[in-house]
Structure 1
């Protein structure tokens, strides 16, 4: 009997411990960041070296809160190394010339302007509803646990498409 009480007390204490599930935070479903609070050594990036222009007329006007010429741009640098155009990562007022055709095709039946914010709010509400009944002693993947009922079976979808006469690529065996 005392052993059972000790085991029950240990289980109760571990259940009261702090959980680091992402469903309790508004940071997303899959957390890849350092959650310990310690500094991340790979996130510290030194500034680019200062450059003196030939004339001060070449200096851009200051933009409070804007980018600095010495700020690191790792994403743009990676795009440039891979052969892309880093300028396409800059915020644009409109749709870039390279993307106009795909946006026109995707929005041929109309589009809703605030759809991203609306879907994010609905998804957050769905995750909050599901988190009440999603308690686990052993932490697991929150994303797969919450959206388990919404996943598609690829082989049944493939069979349905083939029965309908659609040309489908081959698939690996189940």
Structure 2
């Protein structure tokens, strides 16, 4: 009887050791949310490889522009600009020149109290901190993305909202069946 109890404890300790070992095999660090569909896969992303235009030797090396950090590479493909040029248009018209005129009133109203600098970086840092706090006391045996779990209380149910609008007598678009 004593040997059977000791064997049971030994099996329990072995199972706990295996569980702890497997839990330690997970990836460290935070994944980028923009890569969520691909973050669960291992290996390279085959669509991330982009061909370049052929290199050209200039007439004079003095004609080369000075390098500008963050500027577009001269050998990168520009399919939209190439299509506009092929159809006889001006490719320079595609470059961003600020806010379009029809959107000026909207942008000025939205930024009437000022626009903080580095807003996207700050929001990304706050999001990463929130998800880290969310996952502090959670245990996961299989590695997965915690984004949906972290924000599930803040997510809206589109079908419930649709039904609420319909019950209120408001016109709603058609929705696919559940």
Aligned residues: CA RMSD: 3.9
- Residue aligning to 1:27: 32
TM-score normalised to structure 2 length: 0.63
117, 120, 143: which is aligned to 2:147?
A: 143
83, 98, 107: which is aligned to 1:95?
A: 98
Q: Which runs of 5+ in 1 are unaligned?
A: none
**CA-CA distance at 1:80 after TM superposition:** 5.2
Change (3 A) 1:61 1:20: same
Please give the secondary structure, in 2, of the residue aligned with 1:108. Answer: helix
The structure with the greater share of residues assigned to helix is 2
Q: Deviations over 1:70-94 (max 9, x none)?
A: x323xx33x45887x975775x5x5
Change (3 A) 1:28 1:87: farther
**CA-CA distance at 1:15 after TM superposition:** 1.6
Q: Which runs of 5+ in 2 are unaligned?
A: 1-7, 85-89
Change (3 A) 1:45 1:7: same
**CA-CA distance at 1:108 after TM superposition:** 2.6
Question: CA–CA distance in 2 between the matches of 1:58 and 1:52?
Answer: 12
**CA-CA distance at 1:57 after TM superposition:** 10
6, 11, 14: which is aligned to 1:6?
A: 14
Question: CA–CA distance in 2 between the matches of 1:45 and 1:170?
Answer: 39
TM-score normalised to structure 1 length: 0.64
Question: CA–CA distance in 2 between the matches of 1:82 and 1:34?
Answer: 36
